[in-house]
A and B are shown apart, each in its own frame.
Chain A
Amino acid sequence: MAEYTKSLPIPQPESDFYWEKAKAHELWLTHCDDCDSTYFYPRPICPGCFSRNTKPMQSSGKGTIYTYAIVHRAPLPGWRDDVPYIVAQVELEGGARIPTNIVGVEPDPANLKVGMAVEVVFDDVTEKITLPKFKLAG
């Protein structure tokens, strides 16, 4: 396998569970039992109401494209062979928004529309790290 040359996340104590679940091909968010919101990214105190009454919760992995762009100029050398590629924010069922890539579709605005249904796929980019990405649903 060729060396992976793109940036990798360095999991932090509050996000170890997120990356461990991703490695198991599951997408987990955090749910606040006080304000009944589901949020990304992982942190133990709710950014909506500052409650500590929160817990990890598995996401269905289904959502819609909230917005996207098609990158033509690689931001770092690791992406030079990837351009053009699709960056996006996906709004998951339950409301959390997650930054990601849309994969499995030609990067052309004619193929993409805000609001399109998408579902999670898992990209095992290294032995340790799996990135949740999204493909068009159906």
Chain B
Amino acid sequence: MPNANLSRTVAIVGAAESDELGVVPHKSALQHHAEAAHNALADAGLSVKDVDGLFTAGFSTLITAEYMGITPRFSDSTSVGGSSFVVEIAHALAAINAGMCEVAVITHGQTGRSGRASGNSSGLYDPNFPNMQYEQPYGIMGPPINYSMACTRYMHQYGEERTRQALAEIAVSTRKWAQMNPKAQMREPMSFDDYHASRWISWPFHLFDCCLVTDAGAAVVLTTAARARDLPKKPVWVLGAAEYHDHFMMSQMPDLTRTPAYVSGPLALQMAGVTHNDIDLAMIYDSFTYTVLATLESLGYCKPGEGPDFVANQRTAPGGDFALNTSGGGLSYTHPGMYGIFLLVEAVRQLRGECGERQLKDPKLSLVNGTGGQLSSTGTTVLAVD
């Protein structure tokens, strides 16, 4: 288990998106990184000159650092897909406590929607990669095809009809949250009929089972407890943080119904010294509706196969008793490719009480779970305000 003595030693002190999200053809991915870092540092009340630790994914920090004029003495470009940015919370916690850096910035920027070059930053197109040799020749490539295969297995084990209903519940409830987020891409109402009528992308996935593809960036700033207390905004403490991964290709996934959150979740909660019932807000990567269903079970919110009961009757919608993905998620708010950092931004804003119409009543604790690759990797962190 990660060292529980490190709980509350580091805080997130700044969080922000880049200036424009959605369809942004006039900005590069790196510009999204820089704008997001600029906005997050302003939010933190810190200067770029304070930054001595730089974290990102997709790009090497050699590139992001040069672009922004940062010369870090600690850097981390861990690329485990969309989970990277949540995983890097744990890495920043370790680095700050080891004295390797004092002000850490995690940046993200992607132009999944409008980018002029093909989205090759993940390196997945190297012909040496096992998926290029064993999966892509069969037309098995990209998250929708892979995740839909995992979902079919879930349906086989736990029932197709109740699984389908659960996917619809998640799509519809997430859209309701997005309707209250001015930055969300998809804000028109979605009915259950709309969900069921949306076209097939890869059966069993409808279009509305799948996340958006947008242009966007975001960043968060972390520093020591001592420094955090002197900054203008309420520190958002890192109580627990952990990561895990157990495969790369979906065809090597040990159990298609269980994500690596089954390890990272309990580790982060144990480190934080809290239980599921203490959590006021769950921010769970929703690359697909199925990702949420499988992750809720893997995190231990309910037993395997009980996810459809857990999310029934719009329990996760505004006004429901389980606050989930209040930004509108990757499904309806934004998803540029690797969405994990946006989970953190929303958790910070909710804990600080900055969410306007969609603000939860006085939340103190949020669990954030990023998922990356083909359900390959997870990072879980528990955040809190005093």
Report which A residues bind B (CB closer than 8 A).
Answer: 6-12, 15, 40-41, 66-76, 79, 82, 84-85, 87-89, 97-101, 109, 113-115, 125, 129, 131, 133
Per-residue A-contact encoding for B109-135, CB less than 8 Å = 1, 0 else: 000000000000000000110101111
Task: Report the Cα distance A92→B131, complex, angstroms.
Answer: 19
- Say how far B161's CB is from chain A's closest CB, in angstroms: 13
Cβ A99 vs Cβ B201 within 8 A = no
> How far apart are the CA atoms of A70 and B132 in the complex, in Å?
20
Q: Is the CB of B134 within 8 A of A69?
A: no
CB contacts (< 8 Å) of B130 on chain A: these are 41
Contact between B201 and A72, CB atoms less than 8 A apart: yes
Q: Are A69 and B141 in contact (CB under 8 A)?
A: no
Q: In the assembled complex, which residues on chain B have CB atoms less than 8 Å from the CB atom of A15?
A: 133
Alpha-carbon separation in the docked complex, A9 to B130 (Å): 9
Q: Which of B137, B149, B205 contacts A7 (CB 8 A)?
A: B137
B199 touches A68 (CB 8 A): no
25 interchain pairs (CB within 8 A)?
A: A7-B132, A9-B132, A9-B133, A9-B136, A11-B133, A12-B128, A41-B130, A41-B134, A67-B150, A67-B256, A68-B152, A69-B145, A69-B203, A72-B201, A73-B200, A75-B141, A75-B145, A76-B141, A82-B139, A89-B250, A97-B252, A99-B135, A99-B138, A101-B139, A131-B137
A7-B132, A41-B130, A87-B149 known; A101 vs B138 contact (CB < 8 Å):
yes
Residue of B nearest to A107 (CB): B203
B235 located at the interface, meaning its Cβ lies under 8 Å from any Cβ of chain A in the complex: no
Whether B251 and A131, one on each chain, are in contact in the complex, defined by CB atoms closer than 8 angstroms, is no
Determine which residue in A8, A40, A75, A82 has the highest number of CB atoms from chain B within 10 A of its CB, and name it: A75
Contacts of B201 in A (CB 8 A): 72-73
Other than the known A9-B137, A41-B134, what 19 A-B pairs have Cβ atoms closer than 8 Å? Answer: A9-B133, A9-B134, A10-B127, A11-B133, A67-B256, A68-B149, A69-B148, A69-B204, A71-B202, A72-B199, A72-B202, A73-B144, A76-B141, A87-B140, A97-B252, A100-B138, A109-B204, A115-B156, A125-B137
- B199 to A, closest residue via Cβ: A72
Q: Does B153 contact A (CB under 8 A)?
A: yes
B249 within 8 Å of A (CB atoms): yes
In the complex formed, the residue of A with least CB distance to B136 is A7
Q: Decide yes or no whether B320 CB sits under 8 A from chain A.
A: no
Query: Is there an interface contact between A66 and B203, defined as CB atoms closer than 8 Å?
Result: no
B138 touches A69 (CB 8 A): no
Chain B residues within an 8 Å CB radius of A109: 203-204
Q: Do B138 and A67 touch across chains, with their CB atoms under 8 A apart?
A: no
Q: Given contacts A72-B200, A100-B138, are A10 and B152 in contact (CB under 8 A)?
A: no
A10 touches B153 (CB 8 A): no
Q: How far is the CB of B232 from the nearest CB of chain A, in Å? A: 47
B contact residues, total (Cβ < 8 Å): 35
* Contact call B139/A10, Cβ cutoff below 8 A: no
Contact A10 to B200, CB < 8 A, known contacts A67-B256, A99-B251, A131-B137: no
Considering the chains assembled together, what is the distance between the CA atoms of A32 and B151 in angstroms?
Answer: 31
Contacts of B145 in A (CB 8 A): 69, 71, 75, 87
B142, CB-defined interface residue at 8 Å: yes
Complex interface: chain A residues within 8 A of B153 (CB): 66-67, 114
Partner of B152 from A41, A100, A114 at Cβ < 8 Å: A114
Most B C-beta atoms less than 10 A away, residue of A12, A15, A69? A69
Residues of A within 8 A of B156 (CB): 67, 113-115
Asked if residues B136 and A73 are in contact (CB atoms below 8 Å), the reply is no
- Once the chains bind, are A69 and B152 in contact (CB under 8 Å)? yes
Distance between Cα atoms of A31 and B136 in the complex (Å): 24
Contact assessment for B142 and A12 in the assembled complex, using a CB-CB cutoff below 8 Å? no
Once bound together, how far apart are the Cα atoms of A37 and B202, in whole Å? 32
For B210, the closest partner residue in chain A by CB is A73
Cα A70 to Cα B201 with chains together (Å): 9
Interface residues of B in 315-329 (CB under 8 A from A): none
Contacts of A12 in B (CB 8 A): 128, 133
Chain B residues with Cβ below 8 Å from A71 are: 139, 145, 202
Q: Which residues from B are CB-within-8-Å of A131?
A: 137-138
A69 to B252, CA, bound (A): 16
Chain B residue nearest in CB terms to A78: B139
> For A99, what are the chain B residues with a Cβ–Cβ distance below 8 Å?
134-135, 138, 140, 249-251
The distance in angstroms between the C-alpha atoms of A8 and B130, with both chains bound, is 12
In contact, A69 and B139 (Cβ under 8 angstroms): no
- Chain B residues near A72 (CB-CB < 8 A): 199-203
**Which residue of chain B has the shortest Cβ distance to A8 in the bound complex?**
B137
A97 touches B251 (CB 8 A): yes
A97's closest neighbor in chain B, by CB? B251
CB-defined interface of B248-264 with A at 8 Å, one 1/0 digit per residue? 01111000100000000
CB of B149 to closest CB in A, whole Å: 5
